[in-house]
Every structure is written in structure tokens, then in C-alpha cells.
Amino acid sequence: MADGKPVERPLSPHLAIYRPQLTSITSIMVRITAVALFVLAVLPVWWLMAAASSESAFAFIDGLLRSWFGDLVLFGATWALFYHMLGRLRHAIWDFGYCLEVAISEKMGLGMFIGATVLAALVAIIF
């Protein structure tokens, strides 16, 4: 430093220069799906409470859930449930010390997106 040459130090990742990686995106998506599932848990509770309260209240929520918008919301909730499940499974595998290499982690992350989509589509087709 005394000779006037700049010291070459690694830059810390900052949001302005940090390039998101697949593993970080998948991890963030696990957290987002957890919040979404927490919010969407209101729907079955609302449906059951309406069924217990009155026929008109049940008809409203049942009609809403059986509409195209309800189908879309329920498909998204199903996808989020499977994605979150696969994400937690991936973290459990990592906790045991397996599949920690970057290439394998990225394949697992891509597998989470594909797996959740396939499983949600199967549920939509079957039910």
C-alpha cells in the first residue's frame, strides 16, 4: 500500500453487480412458496367454515373455487406445495452432506421446477 499500487481485493456481491444463480433463485422460491401456502391455507378453512355455516356461504366459496379463476389458484397452490416439498427434500439431502457440488445442486434446482410442474399437472389431470 505504501508503494501506491492498488490492492486487488475481491468485491463483495452487491445487488447492483451480483448475478443471481439458479441455486439462489430456487432457495428464494422455496421461501416465497412457503408464504404463498401460508396465505392460501385460508381457502380450505373458508370452504369448511362456509359448509358448516350456511348453504349460501358454501355456494359462494364453492362456486369461486370451481370457477376458472379458482382452478388457476388451486393449480398454483398445488404447484407451490410440490415445489416447496421438493425444496425441503433438497435441503434435507444437503444436510446429510450429499449433492453439495455446484453442478449437481443446479441440476437439483432445475429438477425442482420440472418436478413440481409435472406433479401439479398430474394432480390437475387426475382430479
85 touches 76 (CB < 8 A):
no
- Spell out where the chain has E strands: none
Write the DSSP symbol of residue 67.
S
Confidence of residue 5 (pLDDT cuts 50, 70, 90): confident
Its pTM surpasses 0.85: no
Top pLDDT among 127 and 5 is at 127
CA distance 39 to 74: 12
- Domains detected in the chain: 22-126 (1.20.1300.10)
Q: How confident is the model at residue 8 (pLDDT cuts 50, 70, 90)?
A: confident
